[in-house]
Structure 1
């Protein structure tokens, strides 16, 4: 059986935008990844909104925002409600990515695209899988099976194999790495052999990667030269993905006494650095065989990093004396602690900035990679500062009004004892006490009210909060001493300092605002691009394609040059179907060329008579093809084209001859006759029964012939013979 396969590219086609695709296999629709770029582009979100109610399952390949950044928005704002499949590390580390991303933007702006509750709600829907664990889809996806395979790019990174009915096998591989690294095994290439369709991330198809030894030497030389020159090194990396490879490698260098690095500090800076390292310690079984054997043998956890200091604010970094190496998020330098340190350290020539990934075009990091440093840039500087003067007074006044309104609402919520539907009460509020006054003391209805008296003055008892020894508890004694960092920016968001207010008022958040300005940043620090993305280079990618030998391939998330290189290579390998879609296009990748999808109308199905044929049911269908009805499209409609439909041909249609469906064996028919008490024996290639008066023989064309004398036994045998077929 052949499936109808279509791929709608919401994003990540024809350019380097984040991957987000709708894969349709017959009636079942997968959402392959749900990434978002550094600028939070809303263009593809509008298209995703049209499909979100028709998505049956979501497959996540990696844990970074490039692959799942829009998932909290889709769940919290668009109403995405379906099973989401990912591996355990993608679930754990994906949360850390999104927490860090949200907090980084909240630290410098009024970020409101999604909340932390949206993040938690989205990740609660994730069904956690192990590598090579197959899951069968249900409902419309009956016959579909998904299996996650190791990708080798990030911890828990996945290449998805989707097995469709028949011999259709779809491989979704947006990012993978076939080479072994310090903390990860490579992708298992032998498990993606001969797929019917390969969805391939081709961004590196024309990229020449530096050898690993030379890359590590360049990083080591940059660090040593900078530290010995009295400068500091900023390594721009992600939150919980490639940073694990870097942290493990640098901690090993610091452990080597001959390296001379013990005298310097190694810092990991992000909003969730502690949690990332703790999760890494508990996921050793997902890492390389070397680390797994070391842990099983000597019980030494490779992520018990002795020389790595965990930091959560710029203030902790500035308090660390001397030259230092800081691993900070995010690699695009658009937000986060990496951008803050870049603004601080870039004007000083003794410092070094190490860029580890080619982020999306238009980001600050990509601009520095392509154009280098030693120039002056105009950069937007955003920060959150404390309110002062009139703004602070206005904020406190609003807080007092909120508290007073809350007190009034709570006091006004006293319920009446009367259950009469028409009874109304009026509340007169004076000062801090609520006086309930009834508008009409006469009882309404035919029943007497059981409320004989008005409510008395509510008593608000004010208690002085004290400890067990009678000492008055002053909250200001327990507030954090440091509210802002060295740049005057709020990072940890501690409780607000004490203000003159009513005893019952509580400040829930620090009074602050976001300000933005444009600053001329003179870049004098050394800018180094050292590729640490953990992806296949161009030569290896093309070899993997040649080794996998897919019947069809779709090149995704790549520029024109890379796509042309991939297409030329595929043509040389004799691949039958090659697709290079652009953003927003729909690709029909169905294997068979003459296969169509139609809708069966209700009027047609009402007149169908079903017959049992083993485990299936069959029916004869007489219908005519009709064109789709024209109607106004709505925002909720999916992007699919209207399908043609089949409608009943009506009573004027020509009657058809009965069709007998089954392949009857004479031995099985003999056993059925024996159950009826009729003896039957084989003679001359025919099955004879009833003392040789009836014979059943198979003809050359495969049909079964019944011969004999008309009798009661003859009709019994004929009826039994008919029961062996589904007659439609």
Structure 2
């Protein structure tokens, strides 16, 4: 049995938020939460249902590294009892980029309440160190890596697949018994500069799932999208204005940064190109370490040019809005926070929006209640056609209001002194505890191997290894100099400085070595004379003759500037030109209408987007023979269980050994066939005899065909076996059949859709149901073709 519940993100008439949370329930006792998204206003009431369900959630999987898909994860771990103990799975880019998106958003966000109970600064509740620790606990999976769990989830199989749209973006395949569920809310059928296309473009990977959960929010098919965007930017620069592109911190920003930097370099554009984000440098450092998740073409490009990944020639990375003033004249600014609610986008917009020569280009959808959503709604109202037109429209809208800007300001004076004092105290306490823990560990490890001759029996009785260092106290600490009071130590071994010697690290091959210790002198960048370096090597990031990139990147990650959040209220009058150019990287409606019927899902659930979008898409897909299409609302439970009268069977080992098992689906499954009569069903302690099964089956003790495995253990069923006719199991792909027949000396060609003609006399036809029909007169060719078809199938007797 399978049911789906959209906690957040169902298609609706208002579609006020892009946040996504979905609950997948198998057999009423296995519950999987897909995504822990939040709106860009961080409204606490939206998480009420998630908090209520926390005790029954067994597993969490994440799809994309955006606030809409994981923004509430860190908050829930801190606030909801038991939530942090739920196992979570995601790809490495989703973990690292999601970490950056959360840190950037929480740095200035306020957790708001619509009930009037006030709001709370996120930094008062969750610090960056907390976010790092929370995301470090997420389990990592690779694309196509099949995960089989244990215990209660032993019957569940998880497989992540590439979704496109974002780096590491995932669509999930969940298999439980007869249920085969695919969750694909945001994906892209087209490859991009740094991303490969979704696995859905190849139906061979995913076909005929029992339930397909699809996002109705689609992209726009814009031809020559890059040129359209660059033309819009030049429109403002040529008249002396600035250009603002609000974008997501660690998702779509990578694509825009790479595109614009390449255009600036090729066309020698003089206007400054800036990417402003509090975590921009760290985000790019993560991206450089995850090349295996990117498109092979961009990796080859970097290798051919001999440059470091995401090392920009013209793009400058800034961490503060104040740094923008260092660049004069017209400029292009990419700012984090596509909804203008968090990040630096809101602050930059307030500075640039009052100039009629300037332009703000929105490249992504926004929550309707956000500042960006309000502006886009007014812009769309000014258009005669749909707001997402193929050719972008430019409009001046009338919008004035007072907005609240949350700025991160470095600490100074007495505030900085107090902060540093608190940090020193915290560090001293942490190091004291670490010293005690290390001392205790050393004592416990040495108690069994070292003699304690210097101690009397009385001393040993007074204390033990577990609390031997409990009477060591830190008196003072100044400039990393420590003074410990050991006068009251009861054990002789504690009457000394609590020093634990550094142990030599070892692995399965012996001592752990550092490769850099064995580098030749000419290989060390720091030893190269300055005369051998090019002046612009640092800017270009040329491999070989470059600065100590790894060290500098590590320094960028480790430097933390003490700061606080201050609130300013500013009146804005939007005078700049507004336009929307879709650069979100989502599959367009026409492509979805072509791809989904090829996957042939038995049942389809549409979520996200507006009711109009979902309704139009559902109507089109129903015409393509997908009849069971559901459009649930938030909180509505949809039952899409398989309409099959199937049972799980446990076979005795003796009986299982007598069956003829054969592998199908490239060895993924083994099947055998037998024919039996149901005598009784055992479900726990309750046994149902055949005469009591009137409500379950049409007749008592019917004869049914069963395909069973000795690993299925949910219910026990007593069966009486008998002989049955052979059964062929598997899938025949006509293209592969044609290649095999050609190698056997036959001439094979396709004649019409789904028909393969061999030697002009024998036809192999594949029906919509998947069955194969061989047509032709009695001849050697007919039997040869039939033999080749059988070679693709497993013959179960």
- TM range, normalised to the smaller chain? 0.5 to 0.7
Deviation at 1:25, TM superposition (A): 1.8
Deviation at 1:307, TM superposition (A): 1.1
Structure 1 partner of 2:364: 357
Q: Is the 8 A contact 1:360 1:366 kept in 2?
A: yes
- Tell me, in whole angstroms, the C-alpha distance in 2 between the residues paired with 1:533 and 1:401: 43
Structure 2 partner of 1:57: 59
Q: Is the 8 A contact 1:109 1:382 kept in 2?
A: no
The alpha-carbon distance between structure 1 residues 370 and 461, as it changes in their structure 2 partners (threshold 3 A), is: closer
Question: Which residue, out of 5, 12, 24, partners 2:2?
Answer: 5
* Matched position secondary structure for 2:108: helix
Deviation at 1:164, TM superposition (A): 2.4
Deviation at 1:171, TM superposition (A): 0.8
Question: Which residue, out of 228, 234, 239, partners 1:224?
Answer: 234
Structure 2 partner of 1:341: 348
- Tell me, in whole angstroms, the C-alpha distance in 1 between the residues paired with 2:474 and 2:687: 77
Alignment of 1:404-423 (within 5 A): none
- Tell me, in whole angstroms, the C-alpha distance in 2 between the residues paired with 1:495 and 1:538: 45
Q: Does 1:142 align with 2:146?
A: no
Alignment of 1:575-654 (within 5 A): 575-592=626-643, 614=655
The alpha-carbon distance between structure 1 residues 164 and 343, as it changes in their structure 2 partners (threshold 3 A), is: same
- Tell me, in whole angstroms, the C-alpha distance in 1 between the residues paired with 2:297 and 2:88: 31
Q: Is the 8 A contact 1:75 1:121 kept in 2?
A: no
Deviation at 1:542, TM superposition (A): 1.8
The alpha-carbon distance between structure 1 residues 584 and 396, as it changes in their structure 2 partners (threshold 3 A), is: same
Question: Which residue, out of 172, 175, 180, partners 1:169?
Answer: 180
- Tell me, in whole angstroms, the C-alpha distance in 1 between the residues paired with 2:48 and 2:342: 25
* Matched position secondary structure for 1:51: helix
Question: Which residue, out of 97, 106, 112, partners 1:102?
Answer: 106
Structure 2 partner of 1:179: 190
Greater relative contact order (CA < 8 Å, ≥ 6 in sequence): 1
- Tell me, in whole angstroms, the C-alpha distance in 2 between the residues paired with 1:43 and 1:540: 36
The alpha-carbon distance between structure 1 residues 663 and 354, as it changes in their structure 2 partners (threshold 3 A), is: same
Deviation at 1:244, TM superposition (A): 0.8
Structure 1 partner of 2:86: 82
Q: Is the 8 A contact 2:65 2:95 kept in 1?
A: yes
Aligned length: 530
The alpha-carbon distance between structure 1 residues 299 and 283, as it changes in their structure 2 partners (threshold 3 A), is: farther
The alpha-carbon distance between structure 1 residues 400 and 102, as it changes in their structure 2 partners (threshold 3 A), is: closer
List alignment gaps of at least 5 residues for structure 2: 112-119, 380-396, 429-472, 482-556, 658-677, 693-699, 702-716, 724-797
Q: Is the 8 A contact 1:284 1:291 kept in 2?
A: no
- Tell me, in whole angstroms, the C-alpha distance in 1 between the residues paired with 2:424 and 2:105: 32
Question: Which residue, out of 569, 573, 587, partners 1:522?
Answer: 573
Deviation at 1:552, TM superposition (A): 0.1
The alpha-carbon distance between structure 1 residues 386 and 255, as it changes in their structure 2 partners (threshold 3 A), is: closer
List alignment gaps of at least 5 residues for structure 1: 408-457, 467-491, 497-508, 598-609, 625-644, 666-728
Alignment of 1:431-510 (within 5 A): none
Deviation at 1:465, TM superposition (A): 11
The alpha-carbon distance between structure 1 residues 521 and 592, as it changes in their structure 2 partners (threshold 3 A), is: same
The alpha-carbon distance between structure 1 residues 172 and 252, as it changes in their structure 2 partners (threshold 3 A), is: same
Alignment of 1:36-435 (within 5 A): 36-78=38-80, 79-80=82-83, 81-105=85-109, 109=121, 111-112=123-124, 114-166=126-178, 168-188=179-199, 189=201, 190=203, 191-204=205-218, 209-213=220-224, 215-256=225-266, 259-261=267-269, 263-297=270-304, 299-372=306-379, 373-383=397-407
The alpha-carbon distance between structure 1 residues 338 and 646, as it changes in their structure 2 partners (threshold 3 A), is: same
Q: Deviations over 1:617-647 (max 9, x none)?
A: xx987999xxxxxxxxxxxxxxxxxxxx986
Find the structure with the greater CA-based Rg: 1
Q: TM-score normalized by structure 1? A: 0.64
Structure 1 partner of 2:30: 28
When the two chains are superposed, the root-mean-square deviation of aligned CA atoms in Å is: 4.3
Q: Is the 8 A contact 1:234 1:328 kept in 2?
A: yes
The alpha-carbon distance between structure 1 residues 328 and 400, as it changes in their structure 2 partners (threshold 3 A), is: closer
